[in-house]
Amino acid sequence: MNNCSLIIATYNWPEALDLCLKSIFVQKVLPTEVIIADDGSRENTAVLIKEYQKSFPVPLKHIWHPDEGFRLAAIRNKGIVATSTNYIIQIDGDLILHPYFIADHLEFRKRGYFVTGSRVLLSPSSTENLIKHQSIDIKKLGESKKNWFNGFRIKLFTNILSERYKNKGRHLYYVKGCNMAFWKDDLIKINGYNEAFTGWGREDSEIAIRLINAGLKKQFIKMGAVCYHLYHPEASRELENKNIAMMEDAIKNKTVTIKEGLNKYCP
């Protein structure tokens, strides 16, 4: 079955979100619904979403909260609660998805696992060209100066690498929050994202740690579920050390669930 929800996190970059939503139109397999988890964007993002809602091929929901700083963990939790299916694919709104992105994730899903994937990093010039032309034509306008190998889609290698790639030692907790997938009931079990994480970084690694502590295994979808990351300057990392400390505590204490998470929004 193709039953799944796609959650897209966004913040004040409607030009990138526009390309992301365009790439969903060309998916070989569509998600059941798309939830945009908006961390306090201005009105122009809402205007864009309302325009897409008129013709979008699946239900398109907009979950928004006020801009009170970087609260990605909180808005993702609100997005998770808003889903109507039991399988969640999570991306960021600055990605252009390969046409087989959803199909690859669905073929890869398996009970007892959560999934993380890779991304192709686009150059500043190709990002500018794609946005200027409102185009998702990566072959014509896109260029990657590094991570170019993440653009290959080879199913045989995907299966071989799934439980081998970055899956030992400290790499065990390595994930990319912009390309992940979970069973919703697994997220409920650990109470979702830890909303003590504010500011950029590590909330995705910490949720992976707690999922593993809960008995789940990580799969890495390499050379599948390909996506292209539009270039932008890095976010402020002033709170990263605090977030790293909380991540380290989750490893040390074998933490599974947290106080402030999905329970804030679930009845």
Q: Is the pLDDT of residue 234 over 80?
A: no
The amino acid sitting at 265 is Y
Q: Is the pLDDT of residue 235 over 70?
A: no
pLDDT confidence of residue 171: 80
Whether residue 20 contacts residue 38, with contact meaning beta carbons closer than 8 Å, is answered with no
pLDDT confidence of residue 40: 96
pLDDT tens, 93-135? 999 999 999 999 999 999 999 999 999 999 999 999 999 999 9
Higher pLDDT, 235 or 261: 261
* pLDDT confidence bin for 72, thresholds 50/70/90: very high
Alpha-carbon torsion 14, 69, 64, 6, what sign? positive
The stretch 235-263 carries a mean pLDDT of 85
3-state secondary structure 85-112: CCEEEEEECCEEECCCHHHHHHHHCCCC
Total Cβ atoms within 10 A of residue 64? 17
Q: Is the pLDDT of residue 146 over 80?
A: no
Whether residue 110 contacts residue 219, with contact meaning beta carbons closer than 8 Å, is answered with yes
The stretch 51-64 carries a mean pLDDT of 98
| Range scoring the smallest mean pLDDT among 100-109, 166-175, 183-192, 245-254 | 166-175
Total Cβ atoms within 10 A of residue 123? 15
Of 179, 5, 187, the residue nearest 92 (C-alpha): 179
Write down all domains in the chain, each with its CATH number in brackets.
Answer: 5-264 (3.90.550.10)
The amino acid sitting at 189 is K
User: Quick one: how far is CA 1 from the chain centroid?
Assistant: 21
Q: How far apart are CA 106 and CA 204, in angstroms?
A: 21
The stretch 244-252 carries a mean pLDDT of 89
Q: How far apart are CA 6 and CA 88, in angstroms?
A: 6
Taking the complete model, does pTM exceed 0.85, yes or no? yes
